[in-house]
Amino acid sequence: MLKPTTIKAGEPLTLKIDFDWRNPKDSADWSVVAWGDKGPVGVYHANGLESQSMPFLPDPYASSPDSRPKPKPAPKPPVPVPTKYEIEQLSAGAR
């Protein structure tokens, strides 16, 4: 799985993805998910191949026409805590 990527409006992003369809453990069913919160998003194949897609369907129970959830900010990574072994090694080296 690729890491999530954030790009600015109008900025193109090219992804090169290689598959080994000979491996029976690899699924032949894959997808690309693209989402924009300020306008439409286009996903195109470099050679113009077309694929199936699912249209966006608004939530019929929403109070506003755009009920798509807003993304949450990325969480801050945890501060590493040294292990007892690392503390002992640091203490031993300080002597």
SS3 content of the chain, % helix, strand, coil (to 5): 10, 0, 90
Q: What's the pLDDT score for residue 34?
A: 80
Q: Which two tokens stand for residue 92?
A: 């031993």
Burial class of residue 94 in the structure, from the number of CB atoms within 10 Å of its CB (0-12 exposed, 13-18 middle, 19+ buried): exposed
pLDDT per residue rounded down to tens, the chain (95 residues): 678 888 888 888 888 877 777 878 777 777 777 888 777 888 888 888 777 766 666 666 666 656 566 778 878 878 888 888 888 888 887 65
